[in-house]
Structure 1
Amino acid sequence: MSNNDILKKLRVALELNNEEIIKILGLVNFKIGKSELGDMFRSNDHANFKACGDQILRNFLNGLVIYKRGPRDPKPAEK
């Protein structure tokens, strides 16, 4: 299963649209355009298909944690 397949399945399962995915990626300071994101959801044989790299999927998953749970609480200072 490719990163594109994982991203597609998460998009459907969580009922996310492109704007929400861009917002989620923005939570971890990762910028991506609508057209670039749309290219990842295209069929593998389409001329504008773009492979979803590990970095994009990793940042999406990290952003998804923040999106669903909220930001991480700061750690108490060590003595």
Structure 2
Amino acid sequence: MLSNDILRSVRYILKANNTDLARILALGNVDATPEQIAIWLRKEEEEGFQRCPDIVLSSFLNGLQFMKNAAKMRRRLH
């Protein structure tokens, strides 16, 4: 399974769009445009497919964890 497959699956689970994914990646210290994310979300057989680097997936998951933890902290404060 490629990082692309995991990123695509998590996007589906979160019901997120490419802009949402770019924001989460920014929390993980990765600058990526929605256009670059669209390329990573392509399937292997699609024209223009590029493999999503493993470090990008790792940073995305770190950003997602940061986002979820921040949301928990905000709920605790209110």
TM over 0.5: yes
1:2-53 deviations in whole A, cap 9, x for unaligned? 1111111111111111111100111122101121110011121222111011
In structure 1, the residue matched to 2:10 is 10
Equivalent residue letter for 2:8: K
Gaps of 5+ in 1: 72-79
Q: Give the number of the structure whose alpha-carbon radius of gyration is greater.
A: 1
TM-score normalised to structure 1 length: 0.81
For normalisation by structure 2, the TM-score amounts to: 0.82
Runs (4+) of structure 1 exceeding 2 A deviation are none
Letter in 1 for 2:43: S
RMSD of equivalent CA atoms: 1.4
What percent of counterpart residues are identical? Answer: 34
Q: Which has the higher helix share?
A: 2
Flag structure 2 segments of 5+ consecutive residues without an equivalent: 72-78
Give the Cα separation in 2 of the matches to 1:14 and 1:35: 19
Q: Number of residue pairs matched? A: 71
